[in-house]
């Protein structure tokens, strides 16, 4: 059940358990989730609908085996920008297909980007284009553990 506190909706243990089930398998049947959280499938469906209405549950995703795709290499890029290039950089990065994640961060750097590419030449061309906005530091992923 969702509880009100200071005008903010809070989730209970059952809501968190349902979200954990969906995070592990977004296609899990309502009946199976219900068995795990000791509710009927219909009650689970109602909870999920409420979580969607509240904006807690924003969508459903697919996990891919990156090694079987045409862009099997992944890099993490820390981006350093002068203060007047942020808007143009964000517009470019959001529209760039190689960028799979973009985070505005505090601490070292301005943004963290996860980038997928097919080969070192593709990454090099991507980074060369990015230099018009600012500097970067790159770390390549050699093995995905989780």
Q: What is the pLDDT of residue 84?
A: 81
Q: Which of the four pLDDT bands, split at 50, 70 and 90, describes residue 73? A: confident
* Higher per-residue pLDDT: 117 or 36: 36
In whole angstroms, what is the distance from residue 50 CA to residue 42 CA?
12
The whole-number pLDDT of residue 105 equals 95
The model's pLDDT over 84-130, given as tens digits with 9 standing for 90+, comes to 889 999 999 999 999 999 999 999 999 999 998 888 888 899 999 99
Worst-scoring range by mean pLDDT, 12-16, 44-48, 71-75, 85-89?
71-75
Place 71 in a pLDDT band, splitting at 50, 70 and 90: low
pLDDT above 90 coverage of the chain, percent:
59
Predicted model pTM: 0.58
């Amino acid at each position: 059940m969702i509880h009100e506190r200071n005008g903010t909706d809070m989730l209970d243990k059952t809501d968190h358990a349902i979200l954990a089930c969906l995070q592990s398998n977004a296609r899990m049947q309502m009946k199976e989730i219900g068995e795990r959280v000791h509710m009927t499938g219909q009650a689970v469906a109602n909870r999920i609908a409420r979580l969607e209405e509240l904006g807690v549950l924003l969508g459903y995703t697919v996990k891919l085996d990156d090694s079987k795709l045409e862009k099997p290499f992944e890099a993490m890029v820390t981006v350093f920008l002068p203060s007047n290039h942020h808007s143009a950089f964000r517009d470019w990065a959001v529209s760039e297909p190689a960028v799979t994640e973009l985070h505005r961060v505090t601490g070292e750097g301005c943004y963290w980007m996860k980038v997928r590419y097919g080969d070192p030449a593709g990454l090099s061309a991507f980074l060369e284009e990015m230099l018009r906005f600012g500097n970067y530091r790159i770390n390549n992923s050699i093995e995905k553990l989780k």
